[in-house]
Structure 1
């Protein structure tokens, strides 16, 4: 095994907050929005058709009392299904590598929420979309690349109300004042109109820098 030693990137004097989403893959505190490519969703129909054909060929083989390993039609279709899965996986990994690399190269301090992704996957309505976005893999890539290239990844507490806090004046909405479907909201205090995700990313950055400055407990990328 050959150990690769990465050369640290030059400092950029730029810090960034990241809000992970489903409509947009990420929204950055500088206003940048990266669309969610939804690799699985784009190929789900093709995958479903291929799996249906594979299932039919499996049934035909079993009816003829042939082992699936002996059915050339089944094995051929199984390879087609595997290739679709591989295409989805490779496309997703390539996208995540490029996004994480560019963020680490462009910013010195990167702040993100410490999301409980495994818990969120229990929400059956969102599970497929969350899995397709691969938040955990993206965060892991940010973590080790920040370490490789001499940058810093900070994870703020998952309970920090990033979406419900006005990034202009600090007003915090009540428990039931912001629905998941609300993409923007007007602050009752300063009257600012807040884009939900951009507002969250700004708050995430500010909270990470605040905790870092005051040396308060937070989750550091390891």
Structure 2
């Protein structure tokens, strides 16, 4: 009887020891994959705010959207068929908001969309701006009034726009901005910079 108990005890001890050696082996196999999952999740979650909401990572400030921005287009210079202007937005909200990047920009008139070819310029490039209530940001614009390609040389080179549908960076809805600066030639080609403080 005593021998049976000792034998059973040895079997139980052997199985516990065997289970104990399996557990560390399994743990060492899963350890390399377990830390990589949280770190990849952390890196994707830390990079997501920089793309989707630049201000969220730096204090939780909301993006400037079409509901809080008022826009205007002001001419700045002209010469040799070139026109220059600024797309200026003002934070009309009661709290600060952030802008980072380029605006969408579609010329329109009473009939709908007017040909627009937007080209982003890197000077100045994107930078996170925090606009206090009443503060402004600007984007530089450049376009031509000289007909190009098959555009007519008599009369307007393109349909004349009366407004712009401008989408703030990282947003999907536009704000409507009046355009009073005539037609845009070269198929509606407009160069635009990123927003900067103004």
Q: TM-score, normalised by structure 2?
A: 0.25
- Rg comparison, structure with higher value: 2
Higher relative contact order (Cα pairs below 8 Å, separated by 6+ residues):
1
Higher helix share: 1
